[in-house]
Structure 1
Amino acid sequence: MRLGKTIGTVTLVQPHATMRGGVLRLVVPLATADLAAGDGPAEPLVAWDDLGAGDGQLVAFSEGGEAAQPFRPLDKPVDAFIAALIDHLDVTS
């Protein structure tokens, strides 16, 4: 599980049948050093969102094979999944 910040939405012209009921969001992964600034230098990735994250929302996301596990036994073609919306985060060094 990693932390990231949503920066936009991906629109599909013709989505796969299993892609209904949620949104694809662009998420920038954040390293520990980036959390205080709220922005990171990492390249954004596409994550499935059925929680309703907004632009600029801090989120926790899962990647890889674990990202598809919440949808079993159905197959959903996702590589990253937003698992939590983070309202507040205290970072101490």
Structure 2
Amino acid sequence: MKVGRVIGRVVLSDRIPELPVGRWLLVSPLGRKEVLESDKEMISSQPSPVVFDNLGATQGDLIGYTEGGEATKPFDGPVPIDAYNACILDSVEILD
């Protein structure tokens, strides 16, 4: 699982019927240092994935997301999803 901050939404004009109902979020992946920063406007230099969300995350939220084959596990049948929002994080504590 990776940690990221929601920086926007993607709006689709048409929906493929095979896709589950949800939203598509633009997410800035965060490393250890960025997670501890409180700056909600900071955007990572890494590519920003589009993440499927059916939990209700909004702009500025920290989320835990999965990519690849694990992103399709919450669904009954095969779906064309590359990244899935698995959780909305209230707080993060890093132990050394």
TM over 0.5: yes
Unaligned runs of 5+ in 2: none
Is the helix fraction higher in 1 or 2?
Answer: 1
* 1:59/1:84 contact within 8 Å kept: yes
Coordinate RMSD, CA, aligned: 1.5
Structure 1 vs Structure 2: percent identity of aligned residues? 33
- The 1-side partners of 2:52 and 2:5 are apart by 13
What residue is the counterpart of 2:87 in the other structure? 84
- The 2-side partners of 1:65 and 1:71 are apart by 11
**How many aligned positions are there?**
92
What residue is the counterpart of 1:65 in the other structure? 69
- The 2-side partners of 1:31 and 1:79 are apart by 20
Relative to structure 2, which stretch is displaced further, 58-67 or 9-18?
Answer: 9-18
Relative to structure 2, which stretch is displaced further, 76-85 or 32-41?
Answer: 32-41
- The 1-side partners of 2:9 and 2:75 are apart by 21
What residue is the counterpart of 1:45 in the other structure? 49
2:84 is aligned with what amino acid?
Answer: F
TM-score using structure 2 length: 0.86
* 1:27/1:45 contact within 8 Å kept: yes
Tell me the CA shift for residue 18 of structure 1: 2.8
User: Deviation string for 1:30-56 (max 9, x for gaps)?
Assistant: 011211225422221100000000001
Moved beyond 3 Å, runs of 4+? none
Unaligned runs of 5+ in 1: none
Query: Does residue 25 of the first structure (1) align with residue 25 of the second (2)?
Result: yes
